[in-house]
Structure 1
Amino acid sequence: MLTEPPTPGKAGDVAVAALLRGSSVLLVRTRSFPNLWQPPGGKIHPYDASPEEAIHRELSEELGLQISHEDLILFGSQPADLVEGTVYFFVGRLGDRLAIHPDTDELLETQWAGLKNATRMPMGTATRRFLEELQLSLSATPERIGEKNEHNS
C-alpha cells in the first residue's frame, strides 16, 4: 500500500508523475534505465522545497510541460526499488491541450500506453505497484483522479 510521504530531501528520493490522457498513461525510457518503462520524473534535489516542486521542475525539464499545481496531485509514496530512498507518486490529467516536447538528452523514448496494459511492460516493482494501485483507485472512485469536479466549480 502506498503511504503518505515523510519529510522529503534525502539523497535518492525521487518524484514521478503518471500523466493520464483518457485511459492512457505516459511512460518513458530514460538513459539512466534504458530497459525499463517508467512515469516521467527524477531526483529531488536539495534546492527543491518539496516533492511537488521537484516533479514540476522535472516535467518541465524532461517534457517541456508547465502543469498547474491544481492539475497534479500526490497519490502516495513508497520505498524506491531502483535507487536508495523514497519515490513520491503524483497523478495528473493532460487532456489534449498540452503537447509534450521530450528532452532527447534524457529520454530515449516516450509512449502512451493503456493503463490496463502498461503494467505488462518492463518496469521496476515500485512503478508496477503504483500503476496497479492507480488503476484500482480510478476504477473504484466515482470522481476520477485528476479530473475537476464540475459541480464544485
Structure 2
Amino acid sequence: MSEKQVPNIKGNVVSGVLFGIGLMALVDEIIFHQLLQWHHFYDRSTPFIGILSDGLLNAFALFAVVLGLFMFADLNRKHNRLMATWTASFFIGLGGFQLFDGLVNHKLLQVHQVRYGVEVLPYDLGWNIAGAVLLVIGIVLMIRTRKQRQAG
C-alpha cells in the first residue's frame, strides 16, 4: 500500500468475516450434516426439507466464501490488503458463525441440535466453547491490530 493511499479497513473486515462465516458453515455442513449425519440445518420437518435446508446452507456458505475471496483478491490487487486485520476478521467470522449456530439455531430457534440420541450438554458446551475461543482470538487480534495501526 502506498503511503498516500488510505487503508481500506472496512473492506478487509468484510472480506475476512465473510470468508470465515462461509468456511465455518461449510465445515459444519460437510462434517456434521453430511459425513457424520448428526443433523440437518432444519430438522423440524420431513427428511426432504432437511436435505433442502442443507443445500440452501451450502449455497449460502459457498457464496460467502467466494465473495470473501473475490473481495480479498480485489484488496490485494489494489495493494490495500491488511493481512492482520483480515486474519482477525476471519477468526471473528469463524467464531461468530459457530456461536450464532450454537446459541440461536440450536437453543433459541431449536431448528436442530448438534446431535440426537445422546446427552446433548457436552456437545453444546464443545460447540459453543469452540466458537467462543475462535471469536475471542479474532477480537484479541483485532484489538492488537488496531493498537498497532494507531501507534504506527
TM-score by length of 2: 0.26
Give the structure with higher Rg (CA).
2
TM-score by length of 1: 0.26
Structure with higher helix content: 2
